[in-house]
Structure formats: C-alpha cells, structure tokens
Amino acid sequence: MGKVTMGVAVVGSAAVCAAAALIMRHRMRISNRCVTAADILKELEEKCATPASKLKQISDAMTVEMHAGLASEGGSKLKMLISYVDNLPTGEEQGVFYALDLGGTNFRVLRVQLTGKSSIECQEFAEVSIPPQLMVGDAETLFDYIAAELAKFVADESEKFQLLAGRQRELGFTFSFPVMQLSIDSGTLIRWTKGFSIEKMVGQDVVAHLAEAMKRQGVNMRVSALVNDTVGTLAGGRYGNKDVVAAVILGTGSNAAYVERAQAIPKWHGPPPKTGEMVINMEWGNFRSSHLPLTEYDNKLDSESLNPGEQIFEKMISGMYLGEILRRVLLRMAEDAALFGDTVPPKLKTQFILRTPEMSAMHHDTSPDLNVVGSKLKDVFDISDTPLPTRKIVVEICNIMATRGARLAAAGILGILKKTGRDTVRDGDIPDTVVAMDGGLYEHYTEYRHCLENTLHELLGDEVGKHVKLVLSTDGSGIGAALLAASHSQYV
C-alpha cells in the first residue's frame, strides 16, 4: 500500500514538475516573441527614419532630377512631360462642359455650367467602379465600358444645363497615367500604373481610343483637352485662386504638376508660349534616389509588382501601397515573432487584402481598448481576440509607415518650391504660394495630412512657411479638365 502511495506521489510530483516546466517554457516563448516583435519594430522605425537632413537631401535630389528631365527626353527618372497647357482658365469661359476622370479603380464623369464670371453655376457628377478584369483586359473593352457609362450620364442631363445652340458637347479627358503629350488633345500612353496592365495600348493615342468608343456608343462629343489629373487639379485650383502654382495628387497613386518658365525647358522646341509659361506634368511617382529610406518590405513589394523597378516614390507614399506594406510587416511579425499566435493567419498572406482605408481607421483609433483595430483585424484577416499589446503594435506600425510616406511627400513638394525659387526669401520678398491638393489619401487620412503639412512647415521654416499653403481641391482634377476643355474649346 505504501509503495502504491509513494508511486502515486512520484507520478503526481512528476506531473507537477512537467506542468511547471511547460508553463515556464510557454512564458519564455512569450517573452522571446515579445523581444522579437520589439526588435522588428525597432528595426522598421530605424529603416523608415526621415530626419529633416535626409528630407532636404531628397528634395535636392528631386530638384536635380527636375532639371535633367526638362533638359532632354529620357534624361531623368522624372518624365517632366510638357502638357501643352500654356494658358490656364481665366474665368471668362461660358457654356456646358464635360469631364471624364480616369485614374484609378474608379472613374468619374461630370458636367459644369460656366457663367463667364469666374464661377461654376452648377455641376453634377457620377462615379463608376471599374471591374478588375477590365484593368488587365483589352483597350476596346475598357473604353467601351467607359463610353457606355458616359452615354448614360449625358442622357440624364437636367434642364438647368444649357448647351449653346449649334454647339457640340466638349469634354476634358483626365487620364492619370504617364502620357507623351502630342498636343492639347492627343497623347500616347507611356506605361500603365496603379494596377492597370493593357500592354497592347502602350504607345497608342488614348484620345483616339476614347473617341472611337464614344462613336461606337453613340456619344456625340469632342475631346477638347487631354490632361493629367495633376494638371487638371492645377487648372481647377488656379480658376479660384491666382496664387496656385502647383498641384499634388495623393490618392491611389501620386503625382505632381507645376507652372514652369518656358525659358527653363530646354527640350521645348515649339513656338514660345504667349504667356511665357508652361504647365509641366512631373510624373514624380517614378522618382528614385539613394537617399530614399527603402526597407526589405518595399523592395519585395516592388519586385513582386506589375512594374518592378518603376514608380518607387509612388510605392512609398501613395494609397494603393501603404496598406500592403503594413500587411507585409504584420506577416513577418506573425512568422518570426508569432504576433498572432502559433499559427500564421492564412489571410495575412494574401497580397493587397489590407487597404489603406482600413489602415487609416486603425491608425485613428482612440478607443481605450483599440476596438477598431481589433474589429479590422477580425474583418480583414479573421484574427480574433487580439490582446491590447498586439493592437498597440499594429497602431505603431501604422504610424511609422504613414509618417514616412507623409514626410517624403513633403520633401517632394519642397523640391518643387526649390526649383521655382519659392523656398526662400529673395530680394526681401516672399511670394504667397498655394499648392492645390487632391486625392482620397490626403483628404481622408487625417494623420497623414497633418504630418505632411507640419513637415513642410518644418522644412521651410516659420518665415517662408507662413506664405506656403496646401489647399484641398476636392474633385479638382475633374473640374479642372472641364475648365481646360472650355478654355481650349473649338468655338473659342
């Protein structure tokens, strides 16, 4: 009996020891995971650091590339495309004009009634989603879909819009992809960005494709102006504010345009513009510099993208990619630090499953338990019951990535101000400078926007900074295209 009792005691003791060892190993594993997650976070923060000194190096590099791009075709990663817009809207335009804004996963159509008194009497618009298969299909199918939606929009025109007698409807076409402009109303596609990939269309006239599709769909309309979204935003901003000299898009993609002196464009071989100025479409998304704080996540995203080696700046600052970079960081933490438990959540391996709006929502979460973060992780990745420390790590990663993107965008704007001499006091004078801003990222991601604005002021200093303003131009690219259609009307 004693032996049995002793045996039971030994077994019990062994079980207790085993359980204690298991608990100890579990605690050590958790401790090691926390250290690993902290190490990954620290490494990310260091690699993404953007001190003012680095940002000024980036802005200087941007200015150098701008000079090179203006000097010759192919002389720079920045295309510095001539827009053929040398006379921005004056406010005297009259009539009904349309715009088609194609630049991302949605496109917009709109119409405006202009009074000739620097005002838009009324406007209407519609937004249409583009089915993903059309973004990688063929040109005819894509443009037929667009023209069919445009036909519906024209058919719904209300009586308050008065087309002048004997006139054909005219359209400004905002095409937010790199285009070699041939004139104000024609241009050939250089390459696709933002997830589009219709290779057979590269090198072809985008206006001709739209015109043929409109004809097939029975739309009697002339394309009067082909513009990039940034050029349209610049035109829309200038219509209401003469101090607007540049425009920046921060949405699905990113780009910038600005007003340049004609004498500063060596590659321009046409007759001198009467105004002495020309709007330049920078295509700044393709900017690249050794000073950019690239990480392993950026490099892998780029190598696995549809356009490896291209649009590096855009991939670091724009709405299409911020959420995806965040996902890649979370995946590494899940694999190397078991951030979400012993098993890596399967959906965490799905590219582009996490969109920037979800990232923004998590970044802006101010609830004590970070409930929004928890719900987004559940909705997007099927990750349930995440502890508060894990949610805090997610928010911190959001902050690191958004801060880097916003500060890099500010450095890009500083580069434009340097090129145009608006970054410093000259002859005791500081001109008022307004940059028209458009895009959902800038408009809706509050933390990103505030960081961008504060960074630009930090880089410029108080004296110059108070004379430079970033102004949201909602739907500026679409309205600007309609205004440019009016200023380049066949009836003017």
DSSP code string of 317-338 = HSHHHHHHHHHHHHHHHHHHH-
Separation CA 20–CA 337 (nearest Å): 23
DSSP code string of 373-420 = HHHHHHHHH---S--HHHHHHHHHHHHHHHHHHHHHHHHHHHHHHHHT
**Active site residue: 59, 86, 108, 477, which one?**
108
Side-chain-side CA neighbours of 57 within 13 Å: the count stands at 11
Separation CA 336–CA 162 (nearest Å): 64
Nearest to 248 by CA among 456, 108, 70: 456
CB 194 within 8 A of CB 103: yes
Nearest to 99 by CA among 474, 488, 483: 483
- Helices first, then strands: H and E counts in the chain: 15, 13
Q: How far is residue 349 from each of residues 158, 330, 332, 343, 346, measured CA to CA in Å?
A: 49, 10, 10, 12, 6
**Active site residue: 144, 229, 302, 438, which one?**
229
Residue 108, H or E segment: strand 106-115
- Catalytic status, residue 449: no
* Neighbour count for residue 425 (Cβ, 10 Å): 11
Separation CA 313–CA 284 (nearest Å): 7
- Catalytic status, residue 229: yes
Q: How far is residue 267 from each of residues 82, 286, 421, 473, measured CA to CA in Å?
A: 9, 20, 21, 31
**Active site residue: 176, 254, 318, 477, which one?**
176
Question: In the block, which residue shows the tokens 């973060």?
Answer: 373
Q: Is 95 left (phi over 0), alpha (psi -120 to 50) or beta?
A: left
- Catalytic status, residue 254: no
Which residue numbers are catalytic? 108, 176, 229
